[in-house]
Amino acid sequence: MTATRKKLVLVGNGMAGVWAIEHLLKLAPEAYEITIFGSEPHPNYNRIMLSSVLAGGANMDEIIINDLEWYRSHNITLYIGQTVTAIDTDKRKIYSDQGIEIEYDELILATGSHPFMLPLPGADKKGVIAFRDIKDCEIMQETAKSYRKAVVIGGGLLGLEAARGLLHLGMEVSVVHINEYIMERQLDQPASIMLRKELEDQGMKFLLNKQSEAILGQKRVKSLLFADGSTVEADLIVMAVGIKPNIKLAQKSGITINRGIVVNDYMETNIPGISAVGECAEHRGIAYGLVAPLYEQGAVLAKRLAGVETEGYAGSVTSTKLKVSGVNVFSAGQFAEPENSRALRFQDEIDGVYKKLVIQNDKLIGAVLFGDTNDGAQLFSMIKKGENIKGREKELLLGISADAISASQGNRLEEMADDEIICGCNGVSKGRIAEAIQSEGCTSVGQIKACTKASASCGGCKPLVEGLLQLYAGDAVVTVKEGICGCTSLGRDEIVSEIKRMELKTVKEVMNVLEWNVEEGCSKCRPSLNYYLGMLWPEEYVDEKESRFTNERYHANIQKDGTYSVVPRIYGGVTSPAALKKIAEVAEKFDVPMVKFTGGQRIDLLGVKKEDLPKMWEELDMPSGHAYGKTLRTVKTCVGSTFCRFGTQDAIGMGIRLEKEFERLTAPAKVKLAVSGCPRNCAEATIKDFGVVAIDGGWELHIGGNGGVHVRATDLLCVVKTDDEVVEWASAFLQYYRESAGWNERTAAWVERVGVDSVKKALENREDRLALQERIQKTLSLTTDPWKQIVNEPELRKNFEPITQTETV
């Protein structure tokens, strides 16, 4: 760091603040020494994607916007899990709850907002939460494992997202709303009614015109009482009734506040050197809760801090795009028909399409689309530009024709300012996309997505991205089929085939030879290549640790507070007094906060510090249960004929044999097995990746089950007579899956994709089965428990050393 750099501190590691920093780094990369504080124990992530995490469509790694390496590469000092509690505006210093004191020349407050919790009697009971962050998602996912009835208070955008996720988790969901129709801030009544009907068909229940009065129950919520005296049962209540700007820190520091932190057009507060941006900021009396305006604010702030001329922030026209369980909804501008306006409507009940355009002085000022939202981006652009649409009303209402788009879009996009946001989900501006096309050689939507993240989330901006591609690339535009990610157009089978054909042996080599669009790849392709290479060349390939996710690098599951959970392997759920005693002693020695039995018949030691992990495994001296990786997790068993009067076979013995046979096996996704000792199926073998059910004189073998968010019962593969045959078929099935499935593709999805008949055909010949078994045994013979390597190699232990407060994370 040079002495001439000013000190810039950002309070808040969320989307708005970090986006402003990203923009600033592009404009003036050497101007500031940057420090960022975030209260959550995570790097910057996409809060818009929380509903996908809740529904199981994405995990934490997939919604990270900037990983820790990004902070390192830009020399940003990051303090995660720390909250700034005070500002000394005279000395220009901030103070954190963990004793950090830092001086600043410029301070940005991006403290976001808090969910509004209704002050109902009983709101402090267990099972009453908001829907705002990763922690809330985890609570909902955990609750869904044990409870059935969920109530969401709030029928707005956030409430329906929460309800969608809970529905996918298998809960019975009722949405309570104080108004007569849902999403009244974004939709008019006809569109709202159509949306409600679609959601009711999918299993959602609605209680409208209901005033919540009290939450009933003892320690945990049992029901919700309404003002009219009626109740609804609830094991979980999610409040999604709005947000309020987080102004506490600003208020304590003497900064002018109203509903939010009051800022001018340049995002400055009343205190010199302090700016505010995002949901915590109030501009011209408005505190915005949608992401696109926050990115526009961030662009203005970054320009001012970089010394670049800017006209300032003048406010935003907002739009909303929502996809609830396959239902497309779009809303923008003033849809409530202000005075001296007129509305045009089109409604098709058969195809479930509704369109409304609000026009004033021959200009489009608002729009509502339901079912078909393809024209949303174009209409929104017209609203923002104040474009005259006289004579084109019918064309716009019935659908913008391709000819009309090509005739008008080029001029509209050309006139658009470079800092105007194209991709609201990821804050990608027109200028950034233009740079990717003109300077970085992007000639397809997929390349732009990989390069800038534009259209990588909801995809609503794709028409605008395509328009910019035509505008700047012209005849050079190429139509590229989608590959495993935006870094390549190649699919899984093509990549594996080329690796084998050309005998490629490293991730870097694959990317170079197969001409990856992005030199270093991304979080989707690097782990997949790492797996494919290890699967194809088990004897030669050296596992690339940096291409693995956090849990797999540390061989433990990271928890929401930054600690880890350790799960030793307990074969078939059977242990001994000596093993239990050892686990207890280690748990006491390392002050483990919680010891829990898992759903897979194992013991989980939760709350372990990262620096304790190597020593803890050394003292346990037990194999890892691999509760964190894409590998064999558990083999669940019932007691079978050993103790049960209904048991027909030794389920415990078979379960232990299978677990010892396949422990440490890497796979495209996690794999779970189960063995039930009779058709009563107490071990739930028919919802596992490979299930074994005992029958008189033999075993049924089942494949492709899943007990997660999308429950899938297994398909019967075959019936065998001997224990050796069970192992033979299990080996062949698992190896065939390893060699055929895509990265991160569970057996349930894989079997549905390729068909159970094709799996049966591939395994019907015993010669083929034995060849697959030989290959899987060869792979397993080359693996060792990862902890033995870490325990015995001091160099590897350095990865587990704690990060000090003075280090750049």
Specify binding-site residues.
638, 644, 678, 682
Asked if 147 and 235 touch (Cβ cutoff 8 Å), the reply is: yes
Q: Strand pairing partners for 567?
A: none
| Nearest residue to 635 (alpha-carbon basis) of 672, 679, 597 | 672
Asked if 587 and 607 touch (Cβ cutoff 8 Å), the reply is: no
Asked if 294 and 335 touch (Cβ cutoff 8 Å), the reply is: no
Handedness of CA 93, 99, 100, 106 (dihedral sign): negative
Distance, CA of 668 to CA of 372 (rounded, Å): 36
Q: Strand pairing partners for 695?
A: 698
Element (H, E) at 650: none
Which residue bears the tokens 């065939």? 736
DSSP, collapsed to helix, strand or coil, labels residue 587 as helix
- Is residue 213 exposed (0-12), middle (13-18) or buried (19+ Cβ within 10 Å)? middle
Distance, CA of 44 to CA of 547 (rounded, Å): 19
Structural tokens at position 279: 């949901």
Handedness of CA 292, 295, 296, 297 (dihedral sign): positive
DSSP-assigned letter for residue 669: S
DSSP 5-29: SEEEEEE--SHHHHHHHHHHHHH-T
DSSP, collapsed to helix, strand or coil, labels residue 120 as coil
- Estimate the crossing angle of helix 462-473 against helix 430-438, to 10 degrees: 40
Distance, CA of 685 to CA of 713 (rounded, Å): 9
Handedness of CA 516, 520, 522, 528 (dihedral sign): positive
Residue burial 47-66, b: 16+ Cβ < 10 Å; e: rest: bbbbbbbbbeebebebbbbb
Distance, CA of 695 to CA of 720 (rounded, Å): 10
Calculate the dihedral angle through the C-alpha atoms of 162, 165, 169, 175, rounding to the nearest 10 degrees: 40
Alpha helices for 386-442 (secondary structure H): 393-398, 402-415, 430-438
Q: Strand pairing partners for 238?
A: 129, 152
Distance, CA of 528 to CA of 228 (rounded, Å): 56
Strand duo 690-695 + 671-676: pairing: parallel
Q: What order do you get walking across the sheet with 715-720 strand by strand?
A: 632-637, 671-676, 690-695, 698-703, 715-720
Q: What order do you get walking across the sheet with 564-566 strand by strand?
A: 557-558, 564-566, 603-608, 594-597
Strand duo 172-177 + 327-333: pairing: unpaired
Calculate the dihedral angle through the C-alpha atoms of 491, 493, 496, 502, rounding to the nearest 10 degrees: -90
The phi and psi torsions of 309 (rounded to 5 degrees) equal -60, 135
Instruction: Please state, in angstroms and as integers, the Cα–Cα distance from residue 19 to each residue in 37, 77, 217, 350, following that order.
Output: 14, 16, 43, 43
Binding site listing for [4Fe-4S] cluster: 638, 644, 678, 682
Binding site listing for siroheme: 682
